[in-house]
Amino acid sequence: MLLRVLGNMLLLLLLLMLVGCIPRMQRLGEPVQMPRLEAKRFITADGEILPMRAWLPEEKATSVVVAIHGFNDYSHAFEAVGTYLAQHGVAVYAYDQRGFGATRQRGIWPGVELLASDLKAFIKAVGAQYRNQPLYLLGESMGGAVAMVTMAAPDAPPVERLILVAPAVWGGQSMNGFYRSVLWVSAHTVPWLRVSGRGLKIRASDNNEMLKQMRADPLVIKKTRIDALYGVVHLMDRARAAISQLYTPTLVLYGNRDQVIPKQPVCRLLEEIPGPRSAAFYPEGYHMLLRDREAEQVWQDLAEWLQVPARVFSSSTPAGCLPLLAQMD
């Protein structure tokens, strides 16, 4: 009898924890204005201020790129490539997504719909200033997942081409079942718990100086809430499901030494995407392709592709994917 009572008490305690500790997520406020682009910030319809950076060519831009940063990062991630592309006639715009960088609720997961809604509004605002130039969307890592979900929607914004750099398409369905369960329980019991990637021994780039600068940058999130991790896994699941609806011509860039996003889901992306797609695999590239030591080669390829997309990359699946795709079949 005592054991049964204790068991019921523990079950009740667990239920109370689950009810009282749900994952925290930002909410979209009521619209109070039209979204607008200012010099160094983007003001959303609900009045949220999203810091923005722009790298502009001295002469009239030949094309425009909207760049979306990765998880725990912010718009500064595109400083180097933005500067390079601006020197080659391309205007580059990037903003801090909600929950990241210098935004008001930094560290709190915004949710997939809110991330996609902000991106649509930002693209519309940038496009209004460049009506006669082609607009491209570039998403890096988590930003790639946001871009995929956005472009797969029925009300996708008018984007000429999509660029995915090491896209985060490794969702919960690709994870070990035990890890998925632990993440779910943690997000619903201790959502406030913060964890870091120390001890995982994952190398994101071979550019040690850049990594050192990121560690010292107060706007780069070092310790992540469990519910934010849970949220980004859900985002990756959504991106994985969005592949079948991606008809926008797409370029995928991936480093063969990427230790964050495995090669297999990236290869599957290339196999399943229904629209025109091109790809470039970099044998010495890591996850942060745009900031690696050999990043200038990636910048050069990207600049050339933006000028003449059909001439730079073949639309066939990269050789590095063929053996993996054979195994998956």
Residue-wise pLDDT for 168-187, tens only, equals 997 655 666 777 778 878 88
User: What integer pLDDT is reported at residue 212 of this predicted model?
Assistant: 96
CA angle 31, 33, 36 (to 5 degrees): 120
Residue 99, phi-psi category: left (phi > 0), alpha (psi -120 to 50), beta (remainder): left
> How many Å is the maximal CA-CA distance in the chain?
82
Q: How many helices (H) and strands (E) does the chain have?
A: 11, 11
pLDDT of residue 47: 94
Mark out the alpha helices in 21-139 (DSSP H runs): 79-87, 112-129
- The DSSP 8-state label assigned to residue 111 in this structure reads -
3-class SS of residue 206: coil
* Coil, helix or strand at residue 306: helix
pLDDT of residue 23: 85
Helix (H, G, I), strand (E, B) or coil at 43: strand
Nearest to 163, CA basis, from 230, 90, 232, 262:
90
Domain ranges of the chain: 33-328
Q: What are phi and psi of 64, to 5 degrees?
A: -130, 140
Per-residue pLDDT of the chain (329 residues; tens, 9 = 90+): 434 533 444 444 454 454 456 888 898 888 888 999 998 999 999 999 999 999 999 999 999 999 999 999 999 999 999 999 999 999 999 999 999 999 999 999 999 999 999 999 999 999 999 988 999 999 999 999 999 999 999 999 999 999 999 999 976 556 667 777 788 788 888 888 888 877 678 899 999 999 999 999 999 999 999 999 999 999 999 999 999 999 999 999 999 999 999 988 999 999 999 998 888 889 999 999 999 999 999 999 999 888 876 544 544 566 667 665 555 44
pTM, rounded to two decimals = 0.89
Query: What pLDDT, on the 0 to 100 scale, is given for residue 296?
Result: 95
pLDDT of res. 326: 53
Element (DSSP H or E) covering residue 20: helix 2-20
Neighbours of 8 (CB within 10 A): 10
Structural tokens at position 21:
């500790």
The number of beta carbons lying within 10 Å of the beta carbon of residue 179 is 11
**Is domain 33-328 annotated with CATH 3.40.50.1820?**
yes
Q: In what order do the strands lie in the sheet with 36-37?
A: 36-37, 41-43, 49-55, 90-95, 63-68, 135-140, 161-165, 250-255, 277-282
pLDDT of 2 reads 39
Digit-coded pLDDT (tens) for 23-50: 888 988 888 889 999 989 999 999 999 9
